Amino acid sequence: MSINLHDIVLTYPDGDNRLRALDDVDLHVRRGELVAVTGPSGSGKSSLLAVAGLLTTPDSGTVTIDGTDVTRLDRGARTDMRREKLGFVFQQSNLLPSLTATEQLQMITHLGGGSVRDSRARARELLCSLGLEGQLDRRPNQLSGGQRQRVAIARSLVNDPAVLLVDEPTSALDEERSREIVALLADISRERQVATVMVTHDLNQLDLVDSAYEMHSGALRPRQIATAAN
Ligand SMILES: Nc1ncnc2c1ncn2[C@@H]1O[C@H](COP(=O)(O)OP(=O)(O)OP(=O)(O)O)[C@@H](O)[C@H]1O
Ligand SMILES: [Mg+2]
């Protein structure tokens, strides 16, 4: 078991009341699995990732990562846990415009105190393993949308995460590119034994994931995966 959310409740202030963004949510994702979370806008998907990613502390419930309860760590321990165990990929790839693909990854190792030469070799190896051998020295404006998203995925893997949290990775991509990215995330999860949670609006790629859930007004329910399209 790699990430386990149990009975999570998260509320936000909403006028005189509180809005229940997550309503008794349970989610278990094992290493090696890619799990999709779908659901309408405003249903709580990003809130779920924020809790899983230790960016937001829930009102109640527990988050367990690799068997350790990480729900109420202090700020420093949370930051360490995020760096050591978690990888994030967002809707926009959030790459720094002035850095090459290699440098985007090197910066992460550098922040962790690693040597420049090792970080360069590791960055190149990771980028090549994601099919970016021709783009190592390009800046974001010289990359396609799909390539940018691959660089962002490579960057999320620099610290060998146990858990990968991915918010709408394909929303800026066409159908074919979207499918490649979801297939890539499935391969990464299996080969690197990462537990991946992917929020998506894209119902066409659900045959590629291990399981799928649907969020409705803060409640998470299993969703039937349609394989009839194959
Ligand atoms: N910081 C906040 N303060 C108050 N309310 C918030 C905050 N963040 C989110 N919300 C509310 O919580 C609910 C869930 O938001 P969330 O961002 O998790 O939805 P989502 O499913 O990711 O939507 P989308 O598909 O549009 O990204 C929404 O009603 C939203 O307005
Ligand atoms: Mg969202």
Judged against a pLDDT cut of 60, whether residue 228 lies above it is answered with no
Determine contact, residues 208/178, Cβ cutoff 8 Å: no
Determine contact, residues 88/53, Cβ cutoff 8 Å: yes
Is 191 contained in some domain? Answer: yes
Q: How many domains does the chain have?
A: 1
Bridging pattern class, strands 3-14 and 60-65: antiparallel
Residue among 10, 41, 43, 215 to mutate when testing ligand 1 (max atoms within 8 A of CB) = 43
CA of 129 to the centre of ligand 1 (A): 35
Is 70 contained in some domain? Answer: yes
DSSP assigned state of 99:
S
Percent of the chain with pLDDT strictly greater than 70: 96
Residue ID of nearest Cα to ligand 1 atom 24: 41
Residue ID of nearest Cα to ligand 1 atom 29: 42
Helices (H), 86-131: 101-111, 116-129
Mean pLDDT for the stretch of residues 179-188: 96
**Integer Cα distance of 212 and 146 in angstroms:** 23
Judged against a pLDDT cut of 70, whether residue 66 lies above it is answered with yes
Q: Which atom of ligand 1 is nearest to the CA of 39?
A: 21
Write the CATH number for 153.
Answer: 3.40.50.300
> Cβ atoms within 10 A of the Cβ of 217, count?
13
Can you give the pLDDT at residue 230? 45
**Integer Cα distance of 218 and 23 in angstroms:** 5
Q: Is the CB of 42 under 6 A from ligand 1?
A: yes
Q: Is the CB of 19 under 6 A from ligand 1?
A: yes
Determine contact, residues 52/88, Cβ cutoff 8 Å: no
Residue ID of nearest Cα to ligand 1 atom 14: 44
Is 109 contained in some domain? Answer: no
Q: Is the CB of 25 under 6 A from ligand 1?
A: no
Is 119 contained in some domain? Answer: no
Tens digit of each residue's pLDDT (9 = 90 or more) over 209-218: 999 999 999 9
Question: Alpha-carbon Rg of the chain, whole angstroms?
Answer: 18
Can you give the pLDDT at residue 126? 95
Is 135 contained in some domain? Answer: no
CA of 21 to the centre of ligand 1 (A): 7
Is 115 contained in some domain? Answer: no
Q: Which atom of ligand 1 is nearest to the CA of 44?
A: 18
Q: Is the CB of 17 under 6 A from ligand 1?
A: no
Is 126 contained in some domain? Answer: no
CA 192 to mean position of chain CA atoms? 14
Q: Is the CB of 55 under 6 A from ligand 1?
A: no
Tens digit of each residue's pLDDT (9 = 90 or more) over 78-96: 999 999 999 999 888 789 9
| Residue 59, domain extent | 3-95+146-229
| Nearest-ligand number for the alpha carbon of 201 | 1
Is 66 contained in some domain? Answer: yes
**Integer Cα distance of 81 and 150 in angstroms:** 24
Judged against a pLDDT cut of 70, whether residue 202 lies above it is answered with yes
